[in-house]
Structure 1
Amino acid sequence: MKLHEDNTLGALGCAIGKGLLAGIAATAVMTLSQMIEMKITKRQASDAPVKVAEDTAGVKPATQEDKTRLSQELHWSYGTAWGVARGLIGLTGLKGLPATLLHFGAVWGTALIMLPKHDAAKPINEQESKDIAIDVLHHGVYAITAGLVYDALDAGSKNERKLKKLLAC
């Protein structure tokens, strides 16, 4: 009797779902990291999400409150969506630090290309080293959190692990 059959679409759905949960958690932790850093450095919140929305979708918030709300909505949507990439990485069998490094490279690498393209940030070669370090810190916090959460969700239940161990004999 077969207890579990391979189901590619089911595995894809599970990876996407776990990735979305990891993306939400990672965005929450990254947001906290940014709030703490901005209090320490006295840096203002970035308007990069709104600049990209203005450039790509022609969105023009009418008030500062609308701009702040749109920026937060985009920040959370973007961060959550990047969790799907972590799920797809997980489907390859990559876990732990290698998966986290790949995810970090994809997320931060995309930001390094996309933001200057939409005049939402300077190219990296024109940025101050302090600003690059802050950006790496926050994207690192995001990728590490997403990796830890995804790997924890992907580990299965205690009973499932015991069953797999028994069936492996």
Structure 2
Amino acid sequence: MKLNEDNSLGALGAAIGKGLLAGIAATAAMTLSQMIEMKITKRKPSNATVKVAEDTAGIKPATKEDEQKLSQELHWGYGTAWGVARGIIGLTGLKGLPATLVHFGAVWGTALIMLPKHNAAKPINEQKPQEIAIDVLHHGVYAITAGLVYDALDAGSRRELKVRKILASLKGLKHRLK
């Protein structure tokens, strides 16, 4: 059986799978970053995810313990799912820092819009600079980790090998034209 070289659905599936793995790793890194920051700043855990779930899906935890559990489940699910966006960005051919910046903008930009909309956070123009810096730090940790993991998983893919082959041909052509 011969495989079709232009397997777009296969490339999409691979990008989604790699993105999910990158999202898990990035969520773990962000969680660790938040735990360290909360120890330093004495900040209490956020219940923003639960507020959004209550507002959008009508989910109301029965106890404080249930609220913390739901918050963690939503945090991990949401962070893992955003890894798919990193996979789709990778399909465009963007890699490294440019892809990480696009991913960061999408993730943080969505938070800046959605959390105030659901009364889970103040709008950015009402936040203190320290709150904004902390938020940027955690989302930055997330995006950088997702980018590093995704790019590592994507290294050596057929698409990348094709790009390398084209670049090598162009270098050879450039050398011959000299």
Same-fold call, TM > 0.5? yes
- Map 1:46-85 to 2 at 5 A: 46-85=46-85
1:104-160 per-position Cα deviation (integer Å, ceiling 9, x unaligned): 000000000000000000000000000000000000000000000000000027xx9
Gaps of 5+ in 2: 170-178
Gaps of 5+ in 1: none
| Alignment-mate amino acid for residue 116 of structure 2 | P
**Aligned equivalents of 1:56 and 1:156: distance in 2?**
41
By how many angstroms is 1:3 displaced?
8.1
Q: TM-score, normalised by structure 2?
A: 0.87
Q: Which runs of 4+ in 1 moved over 4 A?
A: none
| Alignment-mate amino acid for residue 122 of structure 2 | K
Q: What SS is found at the alignment partner of 2:15?
A: helix
**Aligned equivalents of 2:106 and 2:90: distance in 1?**
14
**Aligned equivalents of 2:6 and 2:20: distance in 1?**
22
- Map 1:1-169 to 2 at 5 A: 5-156=5-156
**Aligned equivalents of 1:136 and 1:93: distance in 2?**
25
**Aligned equivalents of 1:127 and 1:114: distance in 2?**
15
**Aligned equivalents of 1:73 and 1:17: distance in 2?**
20
**Aligned equivalents of 1:102 and 1:53: distance in 2?**
26
**Aligned equivalents of 2:15 and 2:101: distance in 1?**
18
| Alignment-mate amino acid for residue 134 of structure 1 | I
Q: If you compute each CA radius of gyration, which structure gives the higher value, 1 or 2?
A: 2
By how many angstroms is 1:6 displaced?
1.4
Aligned residues with identical type, % of pairs:
85
By how many angstroms is 1:17 displaced?
0.2
Alignment length (residue pairs):
162
How big is the alpha-carbon RMSD for the aligned residues of Structure 1 and Structure 2? 1.8
Q: TM-score, normalised by structure 1?
A: 0.91
By how many angstroms is 1:4 displaced?
6.8
| Alignment-mate amino acid for residue 104 of structure 1 | F
Q: What SS is found at the alignment partner of 2:44?
A: coil
| Alignment-mate amino acid for residue 8 of structure 2 | T
